Amino acid sequence: MVPSRPSVQVLPSILAADFARLGEEIAAVEEAGAAMIHIDVMDGHFVPNISLGPPVVKSIRRATQLRLDVHLMITDPDRYIPAFIEAGADQISVHQEACAHLDRTLRLIQTEGARAGAVLNPATPVSTLQDVLGLADFVLLMSVNPGFGGQEFLPHTIEKVRRLRAMSADLPIEIDGGITNRNVADTVKAGCNWIVAGSSIFQTSGAAAAFREMQQIARDALAIQV
């Protein structure tokens, strides 16, 4: 059966943006046609880096109409989920590896009013999600070990995408880490819908042009899919 995947979207990840000019950086990709912004939350425990918290999400919420996709790379996410949704997150993803009770955490996100995603690290098999696929609104597969932007794409993720797509025909699949114009088509052909890109968008001479180019490559890859 051919999976029904009507669209593919590139999600600029602001981790690679200039935080002193965050409003302008977001406005540039919004004007270029982005539908969602990816926001990385790191706590220095679950991952070896610290990024931002609910006050920054709240400011971003005031600055843009874009859907806010908040990726929690933190321990004990249940404790912070209400604050991120209150701040304006439209969807929240949590790591399977950080949740002792993933089913309950996904339900908490939904009860609080956001779309709920489950995230897997590169070493975690997709089979571990089998019993929450009916509950999750989307799944995010990490294609680098989380914590930093600008890392190399881990090629085995492509096979994980294929395996997950075989488990569910229409679940949105997001991919995050090391995405460039050279590998984005492969991720789309394997079954990804939402492509997160940080360095490839913001660490360039122009975020808007970089976004348009990657979005076009991703759409073309979807169009030629058999």
Residues that bind ligand DX5 (CB under 6 A): 13, 15-16, 38, 40, 71, 144, 146-151, 176-179, 196-200
Q: Report d(CA 64, CA 17) in Å as an integer.
A: 15
Residue nearest ligand DX5, CB atom distance:
198
State which residue, 40 or 43, has the beta carbon closest to Zn ion: 40
Long-range Cβ contacts of 115-118 (<8 Å, 24+ apart): 115/90, 115/91, 116/91, 116/92, 117/91, 117/92, 117/93, 117/174, 118/93, 118/94
CB of 6 to Zn ion, least distance (A): 23
Catalytic one of 170, 176, 186, 220? 176
State which residue, 107 or 185, has the beta carbon closest to ligand DX5: 185
Interacting span for Zn ion (CB under 5 A) from 35-43, 44-52, 78-86, 123-131: 35-43
CB of 4 to ligand DX5, least distance (A): 26
Q: Helix, strand, or coil here: 93?
A: strand
Candidate list 32, 39, 41, 71; residue touching Zn ion; CB under 5 A: 71
State which residue, 141 or 164, has the beta carbon closest to ligand DX5: 141
Candidate list 30, 40, 43, 174; residue touching Zn ion; CB under 5 A: 40
State which residue, 74 or 144, has the beta carbon closest to ligand DX5: 144
CA-based radius of gyration for the chain: 16
Q: Helix, strand, or coil here: 146?
A: coil
Residues paired with residue 194 on neighbouring β-strands, in sequence order: 9, 174
Clarify whether 170 is annotated catalytic.
Answer: no
Q: With contact defined as beta carbons under 8 Å apart, do 34 and 11 qualify?
A: yes
CB of 37 to ligand DX5, least distance (A): 11
Token pair of 3 as six digits: 């999976």
Catalytic one of 40, 78, 131, 137? 40
Q: Report d(CA 191, CA 77) in Å as an integer.
A: 28
174 touching Zn ion, by CB under 5 A: no
Clarify whether 176 is annotated catalytic.
Answer: yes
Q: How many CB atoms lie within 10 A of CB 189?
A: 16
Beta strands in the chain (DSSP E): 9-12, 36-42, 67-73, 91-95, 115-120, 138-142, 173-176, 194-197
State which residue, 126 or 175, has the beta carbon closest to ligand DX5: 175
Q: What is the contact surface with Zn ion in residues (CB under 5 A)?
A: 40, 71, 176
Positions annotated as catalytic residues are 40, 176
